[in-house]
C-alpha cells in the first residue's frame, strides 16, 4: 500500500507516523520475512548487521531527527574528549585502559593528530522516552 505524502507545510511527528504504520500493519497478514523483503538476502547487509534486522520501519519527524543528530554529535564529541579528560591527553594510556592490545595501541598512536572519521554506527533503540544507545 503506497502512502500519500503530506504537504511540507503540515509537519507530522515520527510518533504519529509510527502509530499509523503499526495500526495499518496490525490489520495486515504480512509476515516478518515479507516485511524485510530483499533486505534479508543482501549479503553485505547480512554481514554488517549479522542478520539482525528490525521488521518494521522507523519514522522520524523533522524535530526528532534534528534532536537525534544533535544528541549523536554530543555523544561523539564526548567520546573523543575522554583521553584528554581522563588521561591528560595520553591516548596510549586511554587505549590500554579500555582494553586494547599493544598492537592496537600502536596503530591508534600512529593515527594521532589525524582528523577522526565521522563515519560511525550507533546502535539505538527507541521507546516512549526517546532514543537509547545500545551497549
For the stretch 47-86, pLDDT in tens is 777 777 766 666 777 888 888 899 999 999 999 999 999 9
The better pLDDT of the pair 10, 39 is held by 39
Alpha-carbon distance of 57 to 22, in angstroms, equals 9
pLDDT for position 24: 80
Indicate the average pLDDT of the chain: 80
Find all residues with CB under 8 Å of 16, minimum gap 6, and list them.
Answer: 61
Range 79-104 average pLDDT: 95
Alpha-carbon distance of 65 to 67, in angstroms, equals 5
Nine cell digits for residue 52: 539482525
Amino acid at each position: 500500500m503506497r502512502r500519500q505524502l503530506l504537504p511540507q507545510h503540515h509537519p507530522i511527528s515520527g510518533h504519529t507516523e509510527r502509530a499509523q504504520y503499526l495500526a495499518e500493519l496490525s490489520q495486515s497478514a504480512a509476515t516478518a520475512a515479507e516485511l524485510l523483503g530483499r533486505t534479508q538476502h543482501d549479503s553485505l547487509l547480512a554481514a554488517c548487521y549479522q542478520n539482525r534486522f528490525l521488521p518494521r520501519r522507523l519514522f522520524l519527524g523533522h524535530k526528532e531527527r534534528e534532536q537525534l543528530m544533535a544528541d549523536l554529535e554530543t555523544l561523539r564529541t564526548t567520546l573523543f574528549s575522554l583521553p584528554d579528560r581522563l588521561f591528560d591527553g595520553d591516548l596510549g594510556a586511554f587505549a590500554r585502559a579500555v582494553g586494547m592490545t599493544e598492537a592496537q595501541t600502536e596503530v591508534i598512536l600512529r593515527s594521532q593528530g589525524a582528523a577522526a572519521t565521522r563515519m560511525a554506527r550507533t546502535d539505538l533503540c527507541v521507546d516512549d522516552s526517546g532514543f537509547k544507545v545500545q551497549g
